[in-house]
Amino acid sequence: MIIVTGATGQLGRRVVEHLLERLPADRVGVSVRDPRKAQDLAGRGVRVRQGSFDDPASLVHAFEGAEQLLLVSLDRTGEECVAGHRTAIDAAVKAQVGRILYTSQMGASHDSLFQACRDHARTEDLLRATGLPWTALRNGFYASSALHFLESARHSGDIALPADGPVAWTGHDDLAEATAAILTDEGRFEGPTPPLTAAAALDFDAIARTAAQVTGRSFTRTVVPDDAFREQSLAHGVPAPVADLLLSIFAAARKGEFTAVDSTLAHLIGRRPAAFGDLLEHAWTAQSG
């Protein structure tokens, strides 16, 4: 059985759907904080069990019988994030899981300027120390983050953000499909995968041109000093730790941490991954509709 954590989230839910296209439902299980949100999956024959990263015993029960476990990284940062991952990994060992797959990120490194990448590196260390077979899915930077940064520009036409660098913005759907492909070809990757990325790395200058092509409107790119961006974020009610985290994405991009592009994702899904312009057009069309 393949068990997926975070199966009601943006990535985990998509992975489950792709797994159900490849496997009988009784070969798939999910570990979710609130089973009520996964009742539709239960109705389709998926095993649904409650599992909380704050309740180790619940995770051991949720992971029971897992030949493979997909550990979807937590939406936390720093020690809180790593501690939650440690709890899940310890539970996987106790449940005698056959292999752990973890949604890491391209650029995962102990010296990254981006806190999340440091958290991913520490989690990979924990996986390495278990002695179990493991795979770290070095996912491209989620394109949804770029779309979030562009939200005000969608109305104003001005992409006013800190100085950046090229980033391999990659779509959730493609990454979910690739994850299902890896899970159903057990042992295909040992340890970290190559970067699972779209075919191009774009900075926000290039994204401004892409947005213009997609919409037929004019977009400008204004570089906002880091301090001013932080103050603007705080003024809009963003907590200081979150503002610092967002700012660190741009610092890491300037350092070139997210520039890598690789063909592995395309090979896994059997086609060219979605280009950022396609993702942008889809998202903005859906919002305007």
pLDDT digits (tens, 9 = 90+) for 188-225: 899 999 999 999 999 999 999 999 999 999 999 999 99
The enclosing domain of 37 has a CATH number of: 3.40.50.720
For tokens 């990263």, the residue is: 53
pLDDT for 139 beyond 90:
yes
Query: What pLDDT, on a 0 to 100 scale, did the predictor assign at position 288?
Result: 62
Residue 59 lies in a domain: yes
Residues 58-94 as b or e (16 or more Cβ within 10 Å = b): bbbebbbebebbbbbbbeebeeebbebbbbbbebbee
Residue 70 lies in a domain: yes
Rounded distance, CA 197 to CA 275, Å?
A: 10
Percentage of the chain exceeding pLDDT 70: 98
Non-local (6+) Cβ contacts of 134 within 8 A are 99, 100, 101, 102, 127, 128, 190, 191
Based on its alpha-carbon atoms, the radius of gyration of the chain, rounded to whole angstroms, reads: 19
Rounded distance, CA 249 to CA 235, Å?
A: 19
Residue 238 lies in a domain: no
Lowest mean pLDDT among 95-104, 130-139, 223-232, 279-288: 279-288
Q: What is the pTM of this model?
A: 0.94
Rounded mean pLDDT of the chain? 95
pLDDT digits (tens, 9 = 90+) for 22-75: 999 999 999 999 999 999 999 999 999 999 999 999 999 999 999 999 999 998
Residue 9 lies in a domain: yes
Residue 159 lies in a domain: no
Total tally of structural domains belonging to the chain: 1
For 115, the domain range is 2-139+172-192
pLDDT digits (tens, 9 = 90+) for 105-119: 999 999 999 999 999
Residue 99 lies in a domain: yes
Residue 52 lies in a domain: yes
Residue 208 lies in a domain: no
Question: What single-letter amino acid sits at 111?
Answer: D
Rounded distance, CA 26 to CA 44, Å?
A: 9
pLDDT for 286 beyond 80:
no
Query: What pLDDT, on a 0 to 100 scale, did the predictor assign at position 259?
Result: 97
Helix (H, G, I), strand (E, B) or coil at 176: helix
